[in-house]
Amino acid sequence: MTAPEHETYPLGLRLDGRRTVVVGGGPVAARRARGLLDAGAVVTVVAPFVCEDLAELLAVHGTEDAGGAHGHAAAPRGRGARLSWVRRDYLTGDLDGAWLVHTATGDPHVDAEVAADAEADRIFCVAAGDADLATAWVPAVARTRVPSTAPGDVARGPARDASPGRAAEVTVSVNAGRDPRRAQRVRDAVAALLEAGELPLRAVRPVGARAAADDAARHAGAVSGPLVRPVGSVALVGGGPGDTGLISVRGRRLLAEADVVVVDRLGPRGLLDELGDDVEVVDVGKTPGHHPVPQAEINRILVHHALVGRRVVRLKGGDPYVFGRGGEELDACREHGIPVEVVPGVTSAVSVPAAAGIPVTHRGLSRGFTVLTGHEDVGKVPAASDHTVVLLMGVSRLAETADALVAQGRSPETPVAVVEDGYGPRQRTTVGTLATIADRARDAGVRPPAVTVVGDVVTLSPAWATPATPR
């Protein structure tokens, strides 16, 4: 009759400064020794020989070969030494004083002897070659570094981790029964999601200076100078043309860490659904001719939240520095000593035409392009037929913009495309010429957001090639 199998009890071990033993000198033993050293443990390796990886660890962390008068392992000697090597086979007694043992000799008889001694001494044992011998198992681990709860926070825990501003570590451990390869694959998938920011990374429990000042921050009015707590940070994140898959990996990760998100109307708003319920979302979206939250107020919002210690993401459509007023927001934050990170985004000036099959440059058709807001200086752009003009936010003044381009020397027959809601559910392309595009757009009911492209590259769009399309 076989004994019933019970589920394991997962937990973490704090091994800093505690003695551990690794029996074996091969590559598996080297990996185990490295992991224990990374955890701060004092490690004794018992083996008649060691592989190259273990020899390198001994050169960095180790001492001269160790061995007691009675054949027992000696503690590492020398200032800062945490790794010692007993150059012989395993003997009963080598586990004296140990908190944990890993055996990876490749010899079933030796591993069984180590496991039996560990059981008798009430020491947890990891057996690399035979899980049935083990009383502990090492999971597949994914780790990622994230900023501390706020700049200047001091994390609770061992003294070596209590440094202001130090990045914290998120650790995910995966057990998959007795199938380590499956555990490794799950681990790798989780690690990829962590790095991409697709899993929540934001600290929830305040620590250190942040916890001490939270109550004051909640009751603070408009803040123009830092409280006792260290200031937070602001990230100006370009979200691309609106599709949630077109934001950068860095931008998505910062969103996953944010305490406050200040979002535009044209940003990838679908990502807001992935935020935690306790993340504050401030909507400052603008529509043509209607700016309910003026830029000065947006600047004040960013400064206020950062000065009370929060991590703020300013989520913008396109790129922060392409008609996004990101430079003004950067200046406002820097004036108050707030650290700012700028994350580029895919500008709609290039991506939205691409969604309609229009490259802004193309060999033989266009050697360059100019991006304008659609109502400023349109008459000053090059009138050459091989130069593309991209107009943002210009639907309401399309007729006068077209007239200005013709007056500057462009042919009235120059192809034009207006692309509405690029990458959105109502994406549509309306084509015409400088002479006809205003009427075509009016008849089609074109409305913002829309990007207008002027130049011969428009002829590459499938919409231009459609025989029934009036031009």
Residue entry with tokens 């559910």: 425
Please compute Rg for the chain using Cα positions: 32
Q: How far is Cα 41 from Cα 35, in angstroms, rounded to an integer?
A: 9
Closest to 104 in 3D by CA, of 90, 123, 121: 90
CA distances from residue 72 to 32, 96, 180, 199 in whole angstroms, order as listed:
21, 8, 33, 47
Q: How far is Cα 157 from Cα 16, in angstroms, rounded to an integer?
A: 11
Q: How far is Cα 165 from Cα 183, in angstroms, rounded to an integer?
A: 33
Which residues are paired to 140 by β-bridges?
Answer: 174
Q: DSSP character for 106?
A: S
Strands of 332-440 (E only): list them. Answer: 340-343, 368-372, 387-392, 415-420, 428-433
Closest to 442 in 3D by CA, of 452, 453, 454, 430: 430
Closest to 151 in 3D by CA, of 163, 139, 133, 169: 163
Closest to 441 in 3D by CA, of 424, 419, 413: 419
Residues assigned a catalytic role: 264, 286
Q: Are strands 450-454 and 415-420 parallel, antiparallel or unpaired?
A: antiparallel
Answer yes or no: are the C-beta atoms of 255 and 267 closer than 8 Å. Answer: no
CA distances from residue 201 to 133, 210, 229, 279 in whole angstroms, order as listed:
37, 17, 21, 12
**Which residues, 6 or more positions from 87, have their beta carbon under 8 angstroms from its beta carbon?**
47, 48, 49, 65, 67
String of DSSP letters for 253-290? HHHHH-SEEEE-TTS-GGGGGGS-TTSEEEE---BTTB
